[in-house]
Amino acid sequence: MNLDITDVERLTDPVTFGRGREYAEGGAVGRVRHVAGGVRATVTGSEPYAVELDSGPDGFGFHCSCPVGLSGAFCKHCVALALVAAGSPDTAPDPRAYLETLSHDELIDMILDAAGRDEVLHTRLAAAAADPDAPGSLRRILFDAIVPRGYVRYDEAYGYLQTVDAVVDRVEALLDAGRADLVLELTEYAGDCAERAVEYVDDSDGLLGGITDRLADLHLAACETIRPDPRELARRLHARESAGGDLGMFDDAVSRYADLLGEPGLALYRDLAERDWAALPERTAAHDPARLRVRSTLEALAALTGDVDAEVEAMARDLSSAHQFLRIAERLLREDRHGDALQWAERGLESHGLADARLVELAAAEYHRVGRGAAAVDLLRRVLDRAPTLGNYQRLAEHARRAGMWADERDGALARLRAEVDRREPPRYRWQPAADASLLVEVLLWEGDPDAAWAEAQQGGCSGPTVMRLARACRELRPQEVIPLYEREIEAAIGRKNNSAYAEAVELLIEVEPLFEADGFADHLAELRHTHRAKRNLMALLAARGW
């Protein structure tokens, strides 16, 4: 494989290229091996990653098992391998010339020996050799590839995926060979195996979901080839969907297979789903997967009719959450049925209270639309009463301004927040602030009134991240008065005793330096260096700043 570094630079940005060069020069790239059309190596970053580069008729190809690589980007690990493969004397020689000198039998022996040591190669060979007329062997290969014998760690997941893909490639080839009937059986079996594998694979990157999506596409393609009896297909899909599972290979089967099911299959599916719904016990938990699955099927069936009222009826079978009322209202809004949407939103708020912010916003927006701004303000006022927070104050302000009522509403809103501050219990421990008006301080800072915010903090106290937001807002107005706030935050950061906290302390020192008069900062710095002289990493950071 001929690698052109200019091409590598074009595939990524300068920062990533620079990081990849550091990896290459720092020895992060393991032994580089030639494979068909390319090179492969393990590149060790925060953990080992499998990297492969190749060139073919479609251009330059690459793959890395790191999160960035899996997103399709040419990552720093790919850069590192490309640089090493292009110029390192440690790159293993291309064995092609040697292999061309071997006899047929010698090549077979070498491949079998390699397959005994390489699970992906062994699986690929076994799958290729399996007899389609003896599907039991393919089922065994699928099971061995998909269901791990032990736990698959994150750094092993890419190799695991390669093994599974190797055998799924063979199943896909059967479709091209006219064996759609066998593909139908094998994809269902492989989906069952994937469900068994869930608890044994670190699937942080969603690899099992990708495998399941591929199997689902093959299953649908096989059905499109066979064109099974619609009612038989309905029974088959219903049984699979009802089985559930973490990966949900047959979720939303009604929509995916609608054309194949036709009216006879959809009618039977509807009967089966109605039977399932009738058999459900009373709700026993907030999240009931079986109930959700059946309701989703009934909703999908209704959506296929194109009748919005039928969809609403299906969604209204379970009104145990405010979110369901929201879904109904949003569906009606898509049909410009604003009056009906508002009625459902109001029903949801009456049944479930004001906890769902999206439902509240929808209702408020509809009130404004019909000229009932006061109703929107009243709704948001009740939200603020229920949960006095900065966010709810901001939402009330937004809607009151829209209704032209904020001038009259603001004083009452602030009074409610002040009552909340006064209502809070006194501190139980000595380290807690005697009082805390942080909520009011945050509100006044948001309104752009740092003087009023400072006054509230002086009177009622202030804590947490609000302290530094207040200090930064008042830097120009009260430079000498905010210095103690910075000093307290700097000491708190140093007290955490780790390098990132030390770096945070230095950044705060940079911020506060211009606020000191005359030699005040030098004196403060000298005292800090004396107090924390044993913290070598902190001292090194200060020295790097010339302090």
Q: Tens digit of pLDDT for each residue in 8-29?
A: 888 889 999 999 999 998 889 9
**Model confidence at 377: pLDDT above 60:** yes
- At 129 the pLDDT is 77
pLDDT in tens, 41-56: 999 988 889 899 987 6
Q: How many whole angstroms separate alpha carbon 444 and alpha carbon 438?
A: 10
Q: If pLDDT is split at 50, 70 and 90, which confidence band does 99 have?
A: confident
pLDDT in tens, 497-532: 999 999 999 999 999 999 999 889 999 999 999 999
pLDDT in tens, 176-192: 999 999 999 999 999 99
- Give helix then strand counts, H and E, for the chain: 29, 4
**Model confidence at 286: pLDDT above 70:** no
Which two tokens mark 542?
Answer: 């200060």
Q: What is the mean pLDDT of residues 325-345?
A: 97
Which residues are CB-contacts of 409 (< 8 A; sequence separation ≥ 6)? Answer: 377, 381, 396, 397, 400
- At 205 the pLDDT is 83
Q: If pLDDT is split at 50, 70 and 90, which confidence band does 159 have?
A: confident
**Model confidence at 83: pLDDT above 60:** yes
Sheet holding 38-44, edge to edge: 33-35, 38-44, 48-56, 59-64
Q: What is the mean pLDDT of residues 457-463?
A: 87
- What is the phi-psi region of residue 33: left when phi exceeds 0, alpha when psi lies from -120 to 50, beta otherwise? beta
- At 435 the pLDDT is 55
- At 424 the pLDDT is 65
- What is the phi-psi region of residue 94: left when phi exceeds 0, alpha when psi lies from -120 to 50, beta otherwise? beta
What sign does the CA torsion over 289, 295, 301, 304 have? Answer: negative
Q: What is the mean pLDDT of residues 265-286?
A: 89
Q: How many whole angstroms separate alpha carbon 364 and alpha carbon 400?
A: 11
* Residue 261 CB neighbours (<10 A): 23
Among 125-139, 211-225, 263-277, the minimum mean pLDDT is found in 125-139
Among 159-168, 332-341, 471-480, the minimum mean pLDDT is found in 159-168
Q: If pLDDT is split at 50, 70 and 90, which confidence band does 433 have?
A: very low
pLDDT in tens, 500-509: 999 999 999 9
